[in-house]
Structure 1
Amino acid sequence: MTVNDDSFTNWMHREEIAESMIPLIGKLHRERDVTVLLHSRSLVNKSVVSILKTHRFARQIAGAELSVTETMPFLRALTTLDLGPSQIDLGMLAATYKADDRGLSVAEFTAEAVAGATGANKIERREPRDVVLYGFGRIGRLVARLLIEKAGSGNGLRLRAIVVRGGGAQDIVKRASLLRRDSIHGQFQGTITVDEDSSTIVANGNAIKVIYADDPSHVDYTEYGIRDAILIDNTGKWRDREGLSKHLRPGIEKVVLTAPGKGDVPNIVHGVNHDTVKPDEQILSCASCTTNAIVPPLKAMDDEYGVLRGHVETVHSFTNDQNLLDNYHKSERRGRSAPLNMVITETGAASAVAKALPDLKARITGSSIRVPVPDVSIAILNLQLAREATRAEVHDYLREVSLTSPLKRQIDFTTAPDAVSSDFIGSRHASIVDAGALKVEGDNAILYLWYDNEFGYSCQVVRVVQHVSGVEYPTYPATAV
């Protein structure tokens, strides 16, 4: 048999294993509210090829490809356990099992590693929490996709309604079409139908009421059967407590803003300060996409090396706020054609760091350049450290952070030498460390951080909503602190 024959036979064998993983992953998700991950990447509703590619990607961060032949025994072991709602990382199970020298079987090790989610220890499945989207733009539609995707077993978060201004004939049909197809993020994964008579979009079985209103004060959500909901304002029209309080109408319990909050509105970056949200806090912000991209790696670097000062330069994709062609804009430079120019503009991300990381004493400055790409940006974080380090040391540290730290859902890591911005469209991490571009000399470190400023940020928003809703389930094996 030739090498080619061996490779093809091996591929078909792995395909067969991946095919057999899909019903096990789906059953765990639907019946027990268990999300199966691989190095923080969900395997729920993934295709055979997607599962294989996710395993192969592990070589970029862990140094060696992870095979489905290694992870399948752990998945089988999970199906035999009395699991409660949780997230279970097969990649971490496989890695920690390799490092364990006690001679346990896969079944014994798995039962021990996820003991916190089994038997008397497991948490109860919670009733679905209603969610309302106020606005249905770029972030709103991506958050909608994520909420529909995560509806899963029917527990967790449930998108009940979308509030928009009336847009004339066939408005709901046009909005459903924008949800169905996206020029950057591709087709919606599932089916969408529209009932114009009842003003309802049905997406993967989720009935979503479209409510038309020009002002929050015009809506009584209880009329639509909505109770104790979390409203996500993705319009950015109101950013202070007084303005956002307008959303606290009958049926709405909390308001989450998808833009930097002003005044005393808490700016929350999931993974960094989400645990500081007070249970009775009704209004909070998820900060900006750039703040979410830089704060987790900034915290990681400060924890290990100390940061004396820093500067962030963001090279940011253009946004809907800019003009397609030169035209009037209240901000002079943003009035110039977005797809034809690099545009120097301001960023509030650096000043927002203080809200998310109040213990960081370093002064962080920032500036931004908008460039002619529609999605994915890069933040160049230039830091003066409290002690000297080597490039190899920082490289290995950040790779380990992306794999095993409490920030592993926020920080990803790539060693791909030919990586470019479009490679990171659809990334669910807040930022991705580009290992090849990393520079360290003495007490100076420069980190290049890619981030999908649309989808990655939307994932962070959903994580915050899950947390304040009480449906953010623990991850096993437990992350090292």
Structure 2
Amino acid sequence: MTVNDDSFTNWKIREEIAESMIPLIGKLHRERDVTVLLHSRSLVNKSVVSILKTHRFARQIAGEELSVTETLPFLQALTALDLGPSQIDIGMLAATYKSDDRGLSVEAFTAEAVAEATGANKIEGGEGRDVVLYGFGRIGRLVARLLIEKSGSGNGLRLRAIVVRGGGDQDIVKRASLLRRDSIHGQFQGTITVDEANSTINANGNAIKVIYANDPSEVDYTAYGIKNAILIDNTGKWRDREGLSTHLRPGIDKVVLTAPGKGDVPNIVHGVNHDTLKPDEQILSCASCTTNAIVPPLKAMEDEYGVLRGHVETVHSFTNDQNLLDNYHKSERRGRSAPLNMVITETGAASAVAKALPDLKARITGSSIRVPVPDVSIAILNLQLARETTREEVLDHLRDVSLTSPLRRQIDFITAPDAVSSDFIGSRHASIVDAGALKVEGDNAILYLWYDNEFGYSCQVIRVVQHVSGVEYPTFPAPAV
């Protein structure tokens, strides 16, 4: 047998193992609200090849490829336990088991690692929490996809309605079509049908009422059976407490804004300051995509090295706020053609850092350039540190943060030498550290941080909503603090 034959045989064996994992992952998610992760990447609803690729990706961050032969025993052990709603990282289970010298079996080690999610300790699933989307644009539709994907057993977040302004003939059909197909993010994973007579979109069994209104004051959500709901405003029309409070109508309990909040509205970056939210807070913001991209790595650098001052330059994909062709715009430069120009503009991300990291004393400045790509941006974070360090030390630190810290869902790490922006379309992390581009000299460090300003940000929004709704389930093994 040749080397090529050996390689192909090995691939077929791993394919078969990955194929056997799919029903186990699906059953845990559907029946017990357990999300199986691999180094913070969900394996729910993934294909055979996607599961194998996710295992192989571990080589870039952990230094060696993770095999399905290593993780399958842990997955099988999980299915035998009395698990409650949780997120369980089988990549971390496999890694920590390797370093454990007690001689435990995989079954015993797994049971111990997830003990807080089993038996009398487990969280009991509730009725679920209603969610309403106010607006159905770029972020609204991606948030809808994520809510539908995460519906699981139905005991978590439930997308009940979207609120839009009337758009004429076949409005609901056109909106369903935009949910079904996306030029950047591809096809919706599942089935979508439209009931025009009842103004409902049915996506993977989720009946989503389409409510037409020109103003929040026109809607009584209880008339649609919606109660105690979280409303996600992705229009950006209202940004202060007074304006956002108009959403607090019958049936709505909390309002989450997908744009930077003004005044005393809390700006929340999940993973950094979400635990500062008061339980009775009804109005909050998820800040901006760029704020979410820079604050987690900034915190990681501040915690380890101290930061004296910094500047962030964002090279940002163009957005719907700009014009396709030169035309009037209330803001300077944004009226010039977005697909034809690099456009210097302002960013509020640097000033927003103070809201998310109030203990950071360093002054952070920022500016932005919009460029002719439709999605994925990069933030160049230039920091003066409180002590000197080396490139290798910073790389090791950020790699460890991406793997084992409480920020591992926010920060990703890549070593690919030829990575470009389109490689990060669909990334679920708030930012991705480009190891090859990192520069360190003495007390100066320059981080290059990729981020999918649409999808990665939408994932952060969902994490915040899960937190405030009480359905943000614990992750096992627990990340190192």
| Length-normalised TM-score, structure 2 | 1.00
For residues 4 and 127 of structure 1, the distance between their equivalents in structure 2, rounded to whole angstroms, comes to 53
Residue 277 of structure 2 corresponds to 277
Structure 2 match to 1:434: 434
How far residue 332 of structure 1 moved from its aligned partner, in angstroms, is: 2.3
> Deviation string for 1:19-39 (max 9, x for gaps)?
000000011111111000000
- Tell me, what secondary structure is at the counterpart of 2:126? coil
Alpha-carbon distance in structure 2 between the residues aligned to 1:263 and 1:55? 44
Structure 1: how far apart are the matches of 2:432 and 2:126? Answer: 33
- Gaps of at least 5 residues in structure 1 are none
The two structures, once aligned, show a CA RMSD in angstroms of 0.4
Q: In structure 2, what is the Cα distance between the partners aligned to 1:323 and 1:444?
A: 38
Q: Residue 282 of structure 1: CA displacement?
A: 0.2
SS for the counterpart of 2:194 is strand
Deviation for aligned residue 1:105: 0.8
1:242-294: per-residue Cα shift (whole Å, max 9, x none)? 00000000000000000000000000000000001100000000000000000
Gaps in structure 2 of 5+ consecutive residues: none
Structure 2 CA distance for aligned equivalents of residues 218 and 101 of structure 1: 63
Listed one character per residue, the Cα deviations across residues 318-351 of structure 1 (whole Å, up to 9, x for unaligned) are 0000000000000120000000000000000000
Instruction: Determine the structure 2 residue equivalent to 1:465.
Output: 465
Name the SS for the 2:222 alignment partner: helix
Could you tell me how far 1:126 is from its partner in structure 2?
2.0
- Identity of counterpart residues, as a percentage? 92
Equivalent position of 1:358 in the other structure: 358
Task: Measure, in 2, the Cα distance between the counterparts of 1:279 and 1:118.
Answer: 26
Output the CA distance in 2 between the equivalents of 1:154 and 1:139. Answer: 23
The CA deviation at 1:362 is 0.2
Residues 361-403 of structure 1 deviation map (CA, whole Å, 9 limit, x = unaligned): 0000000000000000000000000000000000000000000
Other-structure match for 2:448 = 448
Deviation, structure 1 residue 119: 1.0
CA distance in 2, matches of 1:373, 1:4: 40
Distance 1:85 1:245 in 2: 32
1:249 equivalent in structure 2: 249
Counterpart CA distance in 2 for 1:183 and 1:32 is: 34
Question: How many angstroms apart in 2 are the aligned matches of 1:206 and 1:81?
Answer: 29
State the 1:121 CA deviation: 1.0
The corresponding residue for 1:2 is: 2
What residue number does 2:45 align with?
45
How many angstroms apart in 1 are the aligned matches of 2:324 and 2:61? 39
Counterpart secondary structure, 1:382: strand
CA distance in structure 2 between the partners assigned to 1:150 and 1:84 by the alignment? 16
Secondary structure, aligned partner of 2:264: coil
Q: Residue in 2 aligned with 1:422?
A: 422
> 1:152: which partner in 2?
152
SS in structure 1 of the partner of residue 386 of structure 2: strand
Q: Give 1:307 shift.
A: 0.2
How big is the shift at 1:152?
1.2
Question: Separation in 2 of the partners of 1:104 and 1:187?
Answer: 44
Deviation at 1:163, TM superposition (A): 0.1
Q: Give distance in 2, aligned partners of 1:104 and 1:425.
A: 41
Normalised to the residue count of structure 1, the TM-score between the two structures is 1.00
Secondary structure, counterpart of 1:388 in structure 2:
coil
Q: Which residue of 2 aligns with 1:199?
A: 199
**In 2: Cα distance, 1:308 partner to 1:101 partner:** 42
Report the 3-state secondary structure (helix = DSSP H, G, I; strand = E; otherwise coil) of the residue aligned with 2:450: strand
> What is the aligned partner in structure 1 of residue 323 from structure 2?
323
